[in-house]
Amino acid sequence: MDIGQLPYHPQAGYGLDLEILAFSELRRRAGAEMLELAHRYEFYTLVGVTEGACTHRIDFEFVQCAPNTVLALTPGMAHSFGPPTDWEGWIVAFRPEFAWPTACPGAEKSCRILEGLGSVIRLTAKEMRVVTGCIMQMQDDAGLDDSPQSVHALLRHQLHTALTRIRMADERGDGRVKLPRPAGSRFREFERLVEEKHRDWHQVSSYAKAMGCAERTLTRATLDAAGMNPKAFIAARLALEAKRLLTHTELKVLEVAEQLCFSDTPNFIKFFQREVGCTPATFRQRQTQAA
């Protein structure tokens, strides 16, 4: 009844935490029908469209992708490739552990760049050729007959280079710098807890207690890192989850409210109207019509 979870699962015998493959290869492995279903990825994903046109659905938005489009998807997003399937491009999938190894503090930069990007980046043809060249070099190097530790280290640096090029192209495209301000450890812990507990914990006090800090301390950390107070941050995550469930499942509004641990359906509807600007039923109807 929930959105299907998709773990990092490369082909048998492949032992690296990052995999690069062509879309045609993914289509061969999974089948067109499976690719049209929405899944939550448990890993980071880059999708580069090099030939043809396609329509992806990211959470509850349809994205028209022409050549030279790059999609940056983070864990937890609901994504489907959707028809048509006669396009080509590359896909880079990597586990969070790959970019956040405890033994390599500098790798944190890669995920910060990825999370600072928009979900859809439009590159010029020249920029796409350069980025694609980086990705193809990574694919070749993934087959090196060296220790997994050495290959992982090489690929990690190359990934950071590719992400930096994508970010630079993104900033040149519209003049905006999208990287978030550096977040302190307290906010990162709060962010992690919200991701894990948002269905069950709706009160700021629950998070402050779990983190062993005062609510005002958590408020200062969240305002500084995210520009909003903890209550608004939790509400935004709940609203996002509600929209995902309404879009990608057939759960009734009552059942969505139950999954998100609201005390009753009217309370959930009131919350959703305040956060989204319409009722859950209206939101679902608009998504159905858009599809």
Supply the pLDDT for residue 179: 41
pLDDT, tens digit, 9 for 90 and up, residues 131-143:
999 999 999 999 9
Comparing C-alpha atoms, which of 117, 149, 118, 29 is closest to residue 81? 29
Helix (H) or strand (E) holding 133: helix 125-141
Structural domain spans, the chain: 4-174, 185-290
> Quick one: what percent of the chain has pLDDT higher than 90?
66
Other beta carbons within 10 Å of 130: 14
Give the pLDDT mean for 181-208.
88
Of residues 51 and 112, more confidence is placed in 51
Q: What is the pLDDT of residue 279?
A: 97
Q: Is the confidence at residue 199, as pLDDT, over 90?
A: yes
Q: What is the pLDDT of residue 111?
A: 59
Residues 163-179: pLDDT tens digits? 989 988 888 765 444 44
237 — pLDDT class (breaks 50, 70, 90)? very high
CATH number at 4-174: 2.60.120.280
What pLDDT shows up at residue 112?
59
pLDDT given for residue 220 in this prediction: 92
75-110: pLDDT as tens digits:
889 999 987 778 999 999 998 878 765 444 444 555
pLDDT at residue 171 in the model:
80
Report the CATH fold assignment for 185-290: Arc Repressor Mutant, subunit A (1.10.10)
pLDDT of 174: 56
Cα separation, 204 vs 202, in Å, equals 7
| Spatial strand order in the sheet of 120-122 | 18-22, 88-94, 44-51, 69-73, 120-122
Confidence of residue 1 (pLDDT cuts 50, 70, 90): low
Residue 3: φ, ψ to 5°: -70, 135
